[in-house]
Structure 1
Amino acid sequence: MKHSLKLKIAIILFGFLFLGHSAQAQEKRLKRPSGRVGIHSVDTFVRESFDLYDKVYIYDSYAQEGKPLEEDDYEALIDTVEDAQSVLSSAPDAITDINGAGILKQGKATLQMNRAKKALKYSIKTAKKLLSEKKKKNGKTTSDDDIANNGPDNDNGSPDQETDTAKELEIYSKFDFVPGDKILMADDFSLDNMGDFPSKWNTNGTGELASINGEKWFKLAGKSIYIPDLPSNLPEDYTIEFDMLTVVDKKTSSQAKLEIWLEDNNLFNPSKNMAMVEIPLCLFISVGFIIENRIDGNRVIRNAVEKDIRDILLQNNHISIAVNGKRFRMWINENKVVDVPRLVPENIVSFKLHPRDIRDGIDNVFINNVKIAQGGLDLRSQLLENGRFSTTGILFNSGSDQIKPESFGVLKQVAETMQQEPTLNLKIIGHTDADGNDGLNLTLSEKRASSVKNALIAQFHIESNRLQTEGKGESEPVDKNTTTEGKTNNRRVEFVKI
């Protein structure tokens, strides 16, 4: 064999060996920036990005060395994917803050942001790869959405998911909030553009829509009052619901609150008649809820309700408020935190939100899925007198038949009515709005009706032969499908006496 041919073969073999080794080699570790930029949002983004990166890099190192990961490691990887996507969604806010800085800061901040984004993308891609490899070992396949939404071993519609729903409903077993049955205002901000101020609200300050995990959230600003547009003054009985997400830290003031105002005007002027509840946003001490009212300009009630919510403050929380005449009740998730029998004065016409003593750009308050509804007749009365009852208070995850736990109050009332009336049998009918495919909506409505039936059987021990189900999809709207309020009214569950 000629020398030149031997050399070529050697080079080819070396190339194969080199490529094979490269395919197995771990990516060179990114270096965490050593100094701070001095822009809070950028420094936070960089720090959180590299905290996640370091965690995933270690797990990837174990995998490269052939060390098996534990179940706790895989759970941590699932959390990491969600956390990394959440951090990545905050990048636009940091970029906005960079644009307002000096030239030197802008250059340094941009370099660190680019490095942090690279770290985040590695974290997401690698964590998903490790989770997928685990599932393949178990003889299953998965997608990115499976990993992000359900975890590595939880398929949509699986018994595990049904068990999770049952557990969540069980947690809400003492939750007795029942939403009003006539929607006055609903807003998920789906009709507004990102970065804009939402069209159904008024303010004397500012605010904008931001993206968090692919959803639009209304970002509130300090020193601003927010008033939703209502078709009429608030009635005597009504309910208010919204999701609240807060981003605060140990330096957030003990005076930082989200104030809920019920007032006798739709303006930004002080009111003579009002009721107020303050949700504390402080992490370093337990502040409790402040309740206050004024009647004809005179303060009648001011007190602190000692409830500590610091352990849940940084998660997505569901706020439920029920006003019945003078009585004011408020729940955070399944827990009732305020119940005052004579807090609300007469002549109340409006609901307002006011973030107080928050540091703009550091402390953040977001709201979503706002719903204000007029209270109606008692569910039991409607079933027995009219033979039917329709509710928008049984809620489901978007595009899913999984019941949200805050639906427990309505389910409980239906079950109690059936327990008190042993001859009462019901047909459960699911309805959807007109978004999406007709056939898929029909199937979804059937599944949702079945989920309600299953919940009544599993949670309240209603006999299955007393319940029938039907799905009608989008075929019987009660409102127009061009507004958020109309769609909310159409997404309903109906109970019909049989």
Structure 2
Amino acid sequence: MNKRIIYLTAIILCTSSTAFSQGFLKKLKEKAANVGSDLIIKKSAEKAEKVVDGKGGDGKVKDTKTDNGEQIQSSSKGTKDDKIGITAYSKFDFVPGEKITYAENFEQDAIGEFPLKWFTTGSAEVVTVEGKAGRWLKLVGGRMLSPNMIFPANFNLEYDLLVNMPVDPKRNTISPFKPWSFQIFDGGNKTLKFSYGGHKINNSLIVNTDFQKDYADISLQSAEKALSKLSTGKSRFTGFGDYYNGGVIHVAISVQGERLRMWYDAQKVLDVPTGVAVNHNFNQFEFAASVREGMPAYYISNFKLTEGKADTRSKLMDEGRFVTTGIQFDSGSDQIKPVSFGVLKEIAAAIKDNSIKVKIIGHTDNDGNADSNLSLSKRRAEAVKNALVADFRIDASAIQTDGKGASQPIGDNKTSTGKAQNRRVEFVKL
């Protein structure tokens, strides 16, 4: 079905990210005005009736059925290796905050339905994908709004993006994705439901990604209220060739004061010193996809919004305890995900620099039975110890391990956010 939307966004002065070192957004208002930067009205009509979601690496489509009978096509080859070593992320310095304020993996939503409390102008539904854990929200054109939430002044936001690019049958070449847009904004005191007409969006951060076969170009657009408008030049994500055929990219965004940094897996794609309004009051985020007939859909999952940056050293030394949800594992497994590198690196430094001994305690949510969760929590604690010893050269005698399973929850296991809070690793100074 065609959907027409009037969408206000900032078109912004093109410059490199180093230009932001001159000061806050207001200081560049005059420069933006001089080059004719202005708001534009963007009209879009999305049509998503027949969508090819991907092809197998051997040229054959591999289908799996969801509960509602939809065909989801996923690749068995040409994807990013899920078992890549932790040390391959040695330049990945993202560290999530300690307090989870929002998490969503759509586990409470019915397959084939749109998730609760979200909004869309296009075609979107919760699905499962062959070879990928959990549930995913499939977006086929149009725009999608999150529920209303509170973004802390300093925050970290993570999510997984699954991409699956098909072969153009006419040219026998890889068809490029249409641009993918992700926006964080301040919509005021109410939850927006795409009723933008007459409603003022204050501050915003818009990340545009143009996917091609071997790379993706990422740029940032920032606006403080309706006054100052800026944009970065394009930053190239050179590793997209490893993902286009069904790989999952872990997207991480860190906002500390005016500074914004963004990673696609281990690669930092944005680092903007003064690109964020200090008093931003962000409260929603939005995805937008321009997908025409014969193009693939996008799949997103595993959202996590955390407050600030973990203060690993002082927590361990002064308080004697540090708890983190930043060490991530494959679902139901003790396999540590490489994106945990930044957290492990800081913990290793705190142990080394202060010559302390610690006990690592694993915790799980209440999915599954108690015995299985207890065993899993113990194995995960041992896996963290092994990573610290093997990859960061911590003395094994300085570390003890234990696991508590789901017996000591700190969040409500009836909600996605509460479960995410309970899946944690605890470090106790001995």
Whether the aligned pair in 2 keeps the contact of 1:169 and 1:408 (CA below 8 Å) is: yes
- What residue in structure 2 maps to residue 182 of structure 1? 99
CA distance in 1, matches of 2:409, 2:91: 33
- Aligned equivalent of 1:211, options 120, 125, 128: 128
Whether the aligned pair in 2 keeps the contact of 1:293 and 1:344 (CA below 8 Å) is: yes
Change (3 A) 1:452 1:50: closer
1:349 and 2:282 equivalent?
Answer: yes
1:242 and 2:159 equivalent?
Answer: yes
Q: What RMSD over aligned residues (CA atoms) do the two structures have, in Å?
A: 3.0
CA distance in 1, matches of 2:307, 2:316: 18
1:430 and 2:362 equivalent?
Answer: yes
Report the residue type matching 1:88 in the other structure: T
- What residue in structure 1 maps to residue 320 of structure 2? 387
CA deviations on 1:411-463 (whole Å, 9 max, x unpaired) are 011001112112x1111001111121211211111111110001000000011
CA distance in 2, matches of 1:292, 1:41: 29
Provide the secondary structure at the position in 2 that maps to 1:410: helix
CA deviations on 1:177-214 (whole Å, 9 max, x unpaired) are 11121111111111110111111423344411122017
1:88 and 2:53 equivalent?
Answer: no
- What residue in structure 2 maps to residue 416 of structure 1? 349
- What residue in structure 2 maps to residue 274 of structure 1? 204
- Aligned equivalent of 1:317, options 207, 226, 249: 249
**Superposed counterparts of 1:35-184, under 5 Å:** 41=51, 51-52=59-60, 84=62, 87-89=63-65, 92-93=69-70, 168-184=85-101
The offset of 1:254, in angstroms, is 7.0
Change (3 A) 1:360 1:241: farther
CA distance in 2, matches of 1:399, 1:329: 30
- What residue in structure 2 maps to residue 333 of structure 1? 265
Whether the aligned pair in 1 keeps the contact of 2:139 and 2:289 (CA below 8 Å) is: no
- What residue in structure 1 maps to residue 79 of structure 2? none
Return the TM-score normalized by structure 2. Answer: 0.75
Choose between structure 1 and 2: higher strand proportion: 2
- What residue in structure 1 maps to residue 184 of structure 2? 262
The offset of 1:250, in angstroms, is 6.6
Provide the secondary structure at the position in 1 that maps to 2:385: helix
Report the residue type matching 1:296 in the other structure: K
The offset of 1:278, in angstroms, is 1.1
CA distance in 2, matches of 1:411, 1:49: 34
Report the residue type matching 1:406 in the other structure: V
- What residue in structure 1 maps to residue 405 of structure 2? 473
CA deviations on 1:318-338 (whole Å, 9 max, x unpaired) are 111111121111111111111
- What residue in structure 1 maps to residue 141 of structure 2? 222
Return the TM-score normalized by structure 1. Answer: 0.66
The offset of 1:376, in angstroms, is 5.0
Change (3 A) 1:374 1:488: same
1:368 and 2:368 equivalent?
Answer: no
Report the residue type matching 2:159 in the other structure: F
Choose between structure 1 and 2: higher helix proportion: 1
CA distance in 2, matches of 1:276, 1:50: 36
- What residue in structure 2 maps to residue 101 of structure 1? none
Provide the secondary structure at the position in 2 that maps to 1:330: strand
- What residue in structure 2 maps to residue 443 of structure 1? 375
CA distance in 2, matches of 1:216, 1:274: 28
CA distance in 1, matches of 2:158, 2:285: 13
Change (3 A) 1:282 1:410: same
CA deviations on 1:149-180 (whole Å, 9 max, x unpaired) are xxxxxxxxxxxxxxx96x51011111111112
CA deviations on 1:261-292 (whole Å, 9 max, x unpaired) are 121214233523212111222338x5621211
Whether the aligned pair in 2 keeps the contact of 1:184 and 1:373 (CA below 8 Å) is: yes
Q: Number of paired residues? A: 357
The offset of 1:301, in angstroms, is 1.5
CA distance in 1, matches of 2:234, 2:221: 11
Change (3 A) 1:187 1:419: same
CA distance in 2, matches of 1:289, 1:313: 16
Structure 1: stretches of 5+ with no match in the other structure: 1-38, 53-82, 96-116, 121-147, 149-163
Provide the secondary structure at the position in 1 that maps to 2:350: helix
- What residue in structure 2 maps to residue 137 of structure 1? none
CA distance in 2, matches of 1:49, 1:343: 40
CA distance in 1, matches of 2:250, 2:422: 22
- What residue in structure 1 maps to residue 339 of structure 2? 406
- What residue in structure 2 maps to residue 65 of structure 1? none
CA distance in 2, matches of 1:359, 1:484: 33
Provide the secondary structure at the position in 2 that maps to 1:465: helix
Change (3 A) 1:40 1:262: closer
CA distance in 2, matches of 1:447, 1:350: 37
CA distance in 2, matches of 1:217, 1:352: 17
Report the residue type matching 1:226 in the other structure: L
Change (3 A) 1:360 1:344: farther
In our comparison, the structure showing a higher alpha carbon Rg is 1
CA distance in 1, matches of 2:305, 2:372: 29
Change (3 A) 1:389 1:344: same
1:302 and 2:238 equivalent?
Answer: no
Report the residue type matching 1:263 in the other structure: F
CA distance in 1, matches of 2:348, 2:147: 34
Provide the secondary structure at the position in 2 that maps to 1:212: coil
Change (3 A) 1:48 1:340: closer
Whether the aligned pair in 2 keeps the contact of 1:258 and 1:355 (CA below 8 Å) is: yes
CA deviations on 1:215-246 (whole Å, 9 max, x unpaired) are 4210113221322342xx21111111111012
